[in-house]
Amino acid sequence: MDHFMLGAHEVLELHEVLEGTVSAIHQFRLYQSHVQDDDLSTLISTQLTFMLSEYDYLVSLSESISNTKGEVYKRHNPKVDPVYGLDGPHMIYPKPSLPQMTDRDVASGMLQALKSGAVMKMRASLEIASRPLRDALQQASQNCSEQAYEVFLYMNRRGYYQVPFLSNQQDVLRQYQYSPESLGFAPRA
What distances in angstroms separate CA 101 from CA 13, 34, 35, 53, 104, one per listed residue?
A: 33, 7, 9, 28, 8
Q: What is the mean pLDDT of residues 48-59?
A: 95
CATH of span 8-83+102-175: 1.20.1260.10
**Torsions phi, psi for 13 (to 5 deg):** -65, -45
Domain boundaries, given as residue ranges, for the chain: 8-83+102-175
| CA–CA distances in Å: residue 45 to residues 42, 109, 142 | 5, 15, 19
Residue 92, Cβ neighbours under 10 Å: how many?
A: 9
Q: What is the pLDDT of residues 1-14, one digit of tens each?
A: 344 678 898 999 99
Task: Reply yes or no on whether the pLDDT at 48 is more than 80.
Answer: yes
- Supply the pLDDT for residue 2: 47
Q: What local confidence, expressed as pLDDT, does residue 138 receive? A: 96
Q: Could you tell me the pTM of the whole model?
A: 0.86
Residues paired with 85 in a beta bridge: 163
Q: What is the pLDDT of residues 119-167, one digit of tens each?
A: 999 999 999 998 889 999 999 999 999 999 999 999 999 999 998 888 8
In this predicted model, what pLDDT tens digit does every residue of 77-117 receive, in sequence order? 767 889 898 888 777 888 888 778 899 999 999 999 999 99
Torsion of CA 120, 126, 127, 133, to 10 degrees: 90
Question: Among residues of the chain, what percentage have pLDDT more than 90?
Answer: 57
Q: Give pLDDT, residue 1.
A: 38
